[in-house]
Homo-oligomer: A and B are copies of this chain.
Amino acid sequence: MPEVPCPVTRPPREPRRPLTLRDVSEASGVSEMTVSRVLRGRGEVSEATRERVMAAARQLGYVPNRIAGGLASARVNLVAVIVPSLANMVFPEVLTAATEVLEGAGLQPVVGVTGYDPDREERVLYDMLAWRPAGVILAGLEHGAATREMLRAAGVPVVEIMDVDGEAVDSVVGISHRRAGRQMAAAILDAGYRRIAFLGTMMPFDHRARKRMEGFEAVLAAAGVALAAREFYSGGSALAKGREMTQAVMARRADLDFLYYSNDMIGAGGLLWCLGQGFDIPDRLGLAGFNGLELIDGLPRRLATMDACRREIGREAARIVVAGRAAAGSRIELTPVLAPGDTIRGLR
């Protein structure tokens, strides 16, 4: 990556007109083309020239204009990354991992947030494609028709992340949430629990949570077990909601012996409430969440969970974008591992 000629001294005068390559060219007595080469670190340039150019650029405080550069070269170092939310730690983590890989390749993520709203997703994508990014990473496989069409026509790598249960436009990196739900159900049944409740978010467009629940119920049904209760929430502090939902569901069905939460944060809230009630965990009552958040390490007991492979997803998605056309159509299904923690009996 080219060196950054940041200004260390104040330029002689505050020029009203923005600086251009020409200014650096004149100040250094080198042609614009060569200045451009130096600043991009491309092409063979003699060391002497290079230094004169860098000195002039630094001196003036010149910052190259990528808008012009992008137009001229039809190459842009931006990568669109579109996630449903930043409030759920899962996405900042995916983003952080993706950013590390992208930066290493000289690419710059541009983050868009949809709020789990397909219309906003469409708008956000449209706005980002207007910058002709070098790639698109976006969460989920469910998109509006127009969104899919834009992705298809974008002509750059598109990576749909988090989920693999569905049809991808181009590449996918994620886990099977249906399978994750099934796996958790099997473990719970194995451990002998039978009066099981599901506690989750009330978001029509959180397809991954829905799929986990579907997989979960399917396995229960196959074993002749029906969900004994369901509880949904929306908004507010997830930890507090976990607490409230748990209290509510236990008030309705005191005989429940297992609570499956759609994420670790509400699970943690539920766990704290249950411990406060003095419930015998995991014998009388088992609990499990989803995501494998770091947070779990600090709870009085480790909540059973399943790793959503967030960092790996971010990293692999970024790699696919970096690889360009070579990696088109990749499909990477990661395998979440059940971490039984201390809240499922007999599974230590």
Q: Does A341 contact B (CB under 8 A)?
A: no
The docked-state distance in angstroms from the alpha carbon of A92 to that of B93 is 11
A129: chain B residues at CB < 8 Å are 63
Structural contact, A272 and B243, CB atoms closer than 8 A: no
Q: Does A122 contact B (CB under 8 A)?
A: yes
The docked-state distance in angstroms from the alpha carbon of A68 to that of B69 is 10
A68: chain B residues at CB < 8 Å are 71
Q: Does A223 contact B (CB under 8 A)?
A: no
Which of A99, A131, A147 lies at the interface centre, i.e. has the most chain B CB atoms within 10 A of its CB?
A131
Contact of A67 among B7, B67, B111, B153 (CB under 8 A): B67
User: Which stretch (A162-170, A250-258, A295-303, A327-335) binds chain B?
Assistant: A295-303
Question: 1/0 contact trace for A83-110 toward B, CB 8 Å?
Answer: 0001101001101100100000000111
Question: 1/0 contact trace for A294-316 toward B, CB 8 Å?
Answer: 11111110000000000000000
User: Which stretch (A25-33, A172-180, A233-241, A280-288) binds chain B?
Assistant: A233-241
Contact of A126 among B6, B95, B127, B269 (CB under 8 A): B6
Structural contact, B63 and A126, CB atoms closer than 8 A: yes
Structural contact, B63 and A71, CB atoms closer than 8 A: no
Structural contact, B295 and A237, CB atoms closer than 8 A: yes
Q: How many identical chains are in the complex?
A: 2
Name A17's closest neighbour in chain B (CB-CB).
B155
Q: Does A145 contact B (CB under 8 A)?
A: yes
Structural contact, B113 and A64, CB atoms closer than 8 A: no
Question: 1/0 contact trace for A182-215 toward B, CB 8 Å?
Answer: 0000000000000000000000000000000000
Structural contact, A149 and B61, CB atoms closer than 8 A: yes
Structural contact, A243 and B122, CB atoms closer than 8 A: no
A69: chain B residues at CB < 8 Å are 130
Question: 1/0 contact trace for A47-74 toward B, CB 8 Å?
Answer: 0000000000000010111111111000
A224: chain B residues at CB < 8 Å are none
Structural contact, B240 and A297, CB atoms closer than 8 A: yes
A-B contact pairs, 28 of them (CB 8 A): A4-B126, A6-B122, A7-B146, A8-B146, A11-B153, A18-B132, A61-B153, A63-B126, A63-B130, A65-B132, A66-B130, A67-B67, A86-B86, A86-B92, A86-B95, A86-B96, A99-B113, A108-B112, A237-B295, A239-B295, A239-B299, A240-B294, A240-B298, A242-B298, A268-B298, A272-B298, A272-B299, A272-B300
